[in-house]
Structure 1
Amino acid sequence: MGDSEEETSPDLLKNTPSNIARLEDVIENSKGRQKYLAQTRSPSDGGDVRWYFCKVPLLPNEPSASLPRTEIVGKNEYFRFGMRDSLAIEASFLQTEEELLSSWWKEYAECSEGPKEQPSSSKKLEKQPSLASSEITLSSQLYEEEERVGVPVKGGLYEVDLVKRHCFPVYWNGDNRRVLRGHWFARKGGLDWLPLREDVAEQLEIAYRSKVWHRRRFQPSGLFAARVDLQGSTPGLHALFTGEDDTWESWLNVDASGFSGVISFSGNGIKLRRGYSKSQSKKPSQEELRQQKEEEMDDYCSQVPVKHLVFMVHGIGQRLEKSNLVDDVCNFRHITASLAEQHLTAHQRGTQRVLYIPCQWRKGLKLSGETAVEKITLDGVRNLRVMLSATVHDVLYYMSPIYCQDIINSVLLILFPISHLLFPND
């Protein structure tokens, strides 16, 4: 019983030196970890793995293996997880690596065959359910969420499902985001190393373990190197390995006939590296600075316990296309953290923190009156109707005795379960 309580203790989620050392020890003692350690003295050889999550949410029913579209992850498309989060994900990954890789390659093969037709979902009832039926629906939703357990990240606000390669929010309904394991990297201009897609990285890893640079030949370009043809979305993609017995260098290149405008090659190609390496730029870009701030925020949330809970409840306009309460709350969280650094002492910031949770009550709420408005709307004024429905109509619904109660119920059904989960004794 004591071991079980210790494994689930919230203190183990903190980004403390002892927890970092514990996760590193778990990884180093894992059998699967041994094959990822550096096997040569090459400066391009490393064993550090970093996990990433995509900034753009996945579309409904979109498989993770279909992204990214190109072999090299586009700059500014993915964010790194913080060090502690990345170690926690990697430790969990190595425990069931064979099963996870098998599941991912199966999904990748299905994506290669082309998209499959999804069965059409049955139409939802137009009538808004009562509070009792809404509670039943909420209970089933909570039950489904309990079944979907992943690795806690970002201060416990999100979890990572390694089977589906998803990062999803815990306390609100949100989109899934693609999770990527960075093991092989490419330097695509500048001084930053960008992760390669897993299928390309695995092919490079097989070539690395077989020490392919021992089988060098003169290439048409005159370079004395070993060529490894790679299966990917770019025709003619290949890697060139040069080196001696205990050192090597490699580049990603493409045949002239398969030149792609997505990837630009020069000279021998794009330099490759095995294992994560920090940016060597003395003047980091704004995106890199934002990345560092995000990691600092995640590390802070992992260390400091939650003492105050604030629900960010939106007003009208959340049904507009560009409205995103989650991003707004994230920006608010960064602003308050910056203010706390200016006006609070280190002791005050280190003993407690405020947890901000978005309450998106409108996007999932379907009011019966909206159906009638949609039916009588002319095509020529549909855009105007959408804007009015997302703004002015919400005010009228709230002023109505019937719809006002539906709105209140929608908000309460989100607030109460989350409060109970975070503070069960209060």
Structure 2
Amino acid sequence: MKYLPIDKELFIQNRIRFVQHLKPNSLAVFTSNDIFATGADSTKPFEQHRDIFHLSGVDQEESILVIFPDSSKKSHREILFLKETNENIAIWEGEKLTKEAAFETSGIKTVYWLDQFERVFKELAYEAERIYLNQNEHLRANTEAENRNDRFNNWCRKEFPLHEYERSAPIMHAIRSVKHKIELDLMQEACNITEKGFRRILKFVKPGVMEYNIEAELMHEFLNNRSRGFAYTPIIGSGHSACVLHYIENNQECKDGEVILMDFGAEYANYSSDLTRCVPVNGRFTKRQKEVYNAVLKVKKEATKLLVPGTMLGEYHVEVGKLMESELLNLGLLDKTDIKNQDPSWPAYKKFFMHGTSHFIGLDTHDLGHWNRPIEENMVFTVEPGIYIPEENLGIRLEDDIVIQANGEPFNLMRNIPIEAEEIEDLMN
């Protein structure tokens, strides 16, 4: 890992919060991700399953975490099972976690090697009444491919068919959505690295540069600051490409007179940042481009003020829609007839602003969280309104990452990243 060590107190506290949601005499199991093959002997770089990382800090393949707070053996209330390191592995892959290093990482004292798992787990399972299994229950999850977690769940149900089974996912949605102070610091670092990348490219962008040149400059800055790279596939779209919401080809020339929409963010220690900024290729917005830009910025500022504890996300998005409707009327993109004749299920503003304004962010860019519960202090959301006008080859989206505060306005993790049109022009020139 490129990132600096994380205080194990974070993972200790996360496990305490998880256990508070368990039914009596229950054990819960979390597994690491697979290493995914791409062909021949090649694999993708390993990325840890976010849930086992959240609860243990272990960032290593073939790892299993078992939590059993009511175990009769105090030493079995938290257990890590790890791939045993040896001299051969150390030579070819680098040394894996030792038992001592695993404790320093996680705060878990009981560590067994993976070859002991079945024997120890049977002992635990026979004492427990129910087992909590984990599964990806994100609303946008693609679960077609079987993974290590699925294989374990199938094995467990077959080996212990008479146990009661519960779902860990609702608990993880609840506890991962509310961030610990250490997590907020890690997310701030991811945003700080993103800021460095953005400031780097402000002096780099000019007519004739390719979208992938910008992507390369960002990656250079990220890697130089202990980031693994992009938290998600970046969108670098100039001109008409900015009107394609998930444009990721990044292979076109940035031309004089166009505006580039850049949606990117650095990861740090598995935590995501998510930024969108729009800049003029030649360093100066036209009058029309600036009008649209400032309309989006106004909606973003007003939307941010709505993110306070107790807010329901569904109601929040309705209110943001009203803000956008007003700006589109002012820009002449909508008129009163459009509003009068609109379909309530797809309001008129959706022609120019067709996506949501905010989503949870944390260990995943679209992080876990309950959409039907009031938002709470220390949840983190993006705020990202946009206006897309294909006929004008113009797409504007602006986005920051916001921490919900108990009192006062939300705290902007990207507060130091330039966003005012005039400041961007000044820095580019």
Q: TM-score, normalised by structure 1?
A: 0.25
User: Which has the larger Rg?
Assistant: 1
Which structure has more helix as a fraction of its residues? 1
**Higher RCO structure (Cα 8 Å, ≥6 apart):** 1
- TM-score of the superposition, structure 2-length normalised? 0.25
